[in-house]
A and B are shown apart, each in its own frame.
Chain A
């Protein structure tokens, strides 16, 4: 089935407008907002702090704990507050997406908590959450080997494209591939796929995503620089 023009009018390799901001939650040790089009994610980092219950503590290393939550009114049909199976899974893959860049060795017996909330949802929420969380970790001063940026790519009809919105995700012939990559190391740390795609198209989509993540990485960098510049003024 052919998909000639995107519902939104964007080019197939064009992401929605993006915005990043650091230091939005004063009470937290680190925080950030990331918006991509109509999807808005906020993230807060608390820690390193003592891990309870104690039996979860690891004397060798600190632990990273991520929680992804969609607020009830972020979607057209009210989402019941509390963790859904979907949220539990996204929390897990978010943790795995960030873990490779965070240096936890020196935080024995401690935990670094990352809380992500989706304020407004129009697809790509896990990716927006990961991008925001990476910024919040950097803002919290957690030692990091690299940063992580994330975007979804995929195929709608016969077209490979980046940053699917809700209309595209709901398309009957859509393949959705959320991915995250380390900004300098180019290690892929999140990769999920649902749909139907050939190897060739998959590789093409992934490369498109890598290009998109480079743009997101620049916006992340600018948000951090802007924050510290305004602090020094």
Chain B
């Protein structure tokens, strides 16, 4: 039986087959045969040969988060929920780039104005979260095309703060 997941935006197919009380797992080139126990509270124990792995699961909408032996894997279930990330689509056009809030917080200062030319690493804005000030810096030399927020405003993670365009 095949399952589809998005991993870092790429579609992956994992195939699971039951064979003699074991689970045959196939992902691309990787082929594993495992003994599986589904335990309480979203944990799964695997024995691959003699090697023991414990997986912990968490779910958040279409995202499934898995921790295996201290390593973390995040996959998305594809489909109508818009699981396909749109990263870079709107930004790809005409060299325009969007500067986004890296975390939820409050914009405490805008250091530039629309139309202003900025250097690489120049501070564009300062966002405060959890009592820490975080300087939002320009990723490259550019001109500030548009500012979407005002000082004092609360912003969510990934909210577009500033749009940059190439210097002409």
Q: Do A and B bind each other?
A: no
